[in-house]
Amino acid sequence: MEYRELGKTGLRVSALGFGCGNVGGLMIRGSASERERAIARAVELGINYFDTAPSYGDGQSEQNLGAAVRSLRASVYVGTKFRLDAADLGAVPGAVSRSLDASLKRLRREHVDLLQLHNNIFAERAGEPVSVADVLDRVIPALQTLQGQGKTRYWGITALGEPAALHRVLDTASLHTAQVCYNLLNPSAGVEVAPGFPGPDFRRLLARAAERRVGVIVIRVLAAGALSGAATRHPVAVPTVEPIATGPDYASDVHRAQALRALVEEGHVGSLVEASLRFALSSQAVSTVLLGYSSLEHLEYAAAAVARGPLPAAALDRLSTVWARFGRGAASGGSA
């Protein structure tokens, strides 16, 4: 397993992380024995970062992760999150503290290694709960207080919302990490895309994070499974899923992923899943890539793919031609 610096934290995290969310579903709908076997095998493979949140299964993910890690006595890094409602903004420190205390109880831990804002971020509130000013003036001070109390070691954001607002937060906030949507259907956080490219343009957010020494945790690397190229979903996975920063719906994402099969057909990779994971790790700005698992077999396959290293230059060049077609298709109203 490759290990990478998590920004300026001093932590070295595995290039492949363990996502404990609802999309893969193993940590929520898998049996206790399946969860424990998967975490034990992940640790054997060298995975040392596990990412969860209170909203994953209404606390079940945190509870199940805590039980498994405790049973195995595994020494791993754990990150969780908190979400603010509009009513919380008048008393952010209390809201964040209460959320973390509840998470620590479920996780059976005295502290977490990373606590992350789970809200999208916008320039102004305007109906959305969290603005740039809220992050700078309310959220960061609350997190600094919790760090002083020893309840979290580091903190970060979920880098979704308005791209300009995200860049401003990275420029001005005291952040350790950012969870960034970066995949083969929307690579704009890492590469320049043409006008008309489908999805929001994150304007090379990875480069900005690297400049600020903010650790990047890649999310939605498989676009919630669409980049497997198959419309069917695993029985343990969430039955339906809304895309984030890609197409209008899951079926559209699966359809657009077919154009990427050129990487497989031309022998660059063995599958779209392999291409997706190795693509994300081709950026040195990326610290770790989260993947949500539905089975032990998914975990084994992902670890083997990551072990092959970043995509070669020829594969990255081939992607440029595919992405150019994506942009032309969106601009003309057609499909790529």
Tally of CA atoms within 13 A in the half-sphere of 320 that contains its CB: 7
Which residues, at least 6 apart from 328, have a Cβ–Cβ distance to it below 8 Å?
Answer: 196, 336
Residue 335 is predicted with a pLDDT of 37
- The terminus-to-terminus CA distance of the chain in angstroms comes to 35
> What 8-state DSSP symbol labels residue 336?
-
310: containing domain: 3-332
Residue 329 is predicted with a pLDDT of 55
The stretch 237-253 carries a mean pLDDT of: 89
330/206 Cα distance (integer angstroms): 24
27/230 Cα distance (integer angstroms): 22
Query: How confident is the prediction for the chain on average, in pLDDT?
Result: 93
Q: What's the pLDDT tens digit per position in 6-48?
A: 999 999 999 999 999 988 889 999 999 999 999 999 999 999 9
Residue 129 is predicted with a pLDDT of 86
The stretch 186-190 carries a mean pLDDT of: 97
Cβ atoms 336, 329 nearer than 8 A: yes
CA angle 6, 9, 109 (to 5 degrees): 95
Three-state SS for 231-297 is: CCCCCCCCCCCCCCCCCCCHHHHHHHHHHHHHHHHCCCCCCHHHHHHHHHCCCCCEEEEEEECCCHH
CATH of the domain at 311: 3.20.20.100
pLDDT higher than 60, residue 65: yes
Reported as a pLDDT band with limits 50, 70 and 90, residue 333 is very low
Q: Residue type for 166, please?
A: L
The stretch 117-136 carries a mean pLDDT of: 90
Which residues, at least 6 apart from 56, have a Cβ–Cβ distance to it below 8 Å?
Answer: 20, 21, 22, 27, 28, 62
Residue 151 is predicted with a pLDDT of 98
Q: For residue 39, count CB atoms less than 10 angstroms from its CB and return exposed for 0-12, middle for 13-18, buried for 19 or more.
A: buried
Domain count, the chain: 1
CA angle 183, 186, 190 (to 5 degrees): 75
